[in-house]
C-alpha cells in the first residue's frame, strides 16, 4: 500500500463511495466540489482527487485549478486501497 500524505477526495456520488473507497478518503461528489473550495484550500497538502474510472477526477482537478487550488488527478480510487 502506498503511504499517502495528501488527503484523498473521492468525487463519486455517495452511493458509489459507500460501496467501496480508499481508506481515509473523504467523499465530495464532483457536483458539490465548488461548494467546498474553502475547506479544500485549508488542507495542509494539495489533495488527490479520485473517482471510479478516471474521468471525473480529471474534471475535478481542472475545476479546482480554475479556482486556484492545486490538486493531483489520482485516477481510480482502487489505486489507493
Give the start-to-end residue ranges of the domains of the chain: 8-80
**Predicted local confidence at residue 4, as pLDDT:** 57
Cβ contacts of residue 72 below 8 Å, gap of 6+? 6, 46, 47, 48, 49, 61
26-27 β-sheet, strand order: 26-27, 8-10, 48-51, 72-76
pLDDT band for 1, please (50, 70, 90 cuts): very low
User: Residue 22 half-sphere exposure, CB side, CA atoms within 13 Å?
Assistant: 27
**Predicted local confidence at residue 3, as pLDDT:** 54
Whose cell is 480510487? That residue is: 77
Q: Give the CATH number of domain 8-80.
A: 3.40.250.10
Mean predicted confidence (pLDDT) in 40-47? 95
Amino acid at each position: 500500500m502506498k503511504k499517502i500524505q495528501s488527503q484523498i477526495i473521492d468525487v463519486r456520488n455517495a452511493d458509489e463511495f459507500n460501496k467501496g473507497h480508499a481508506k481515509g478518503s473523504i467523499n465530495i461528489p464532483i457536483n458539490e466540489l465548488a461548494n467546498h473550495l474553502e475547506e479544500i484550500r485549508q488542507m495542509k497538502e494539495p489533495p488527490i482527487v479520485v473517482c471510479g474510472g478516471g474521468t471525473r477526477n480529471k474534471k475535478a482537478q481542472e475545476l479546482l485549478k480554475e479556482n486556484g487550488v492545486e490538486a493531483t488527478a489520482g485516477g481510480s480510487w482502487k489505486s489507493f486501497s
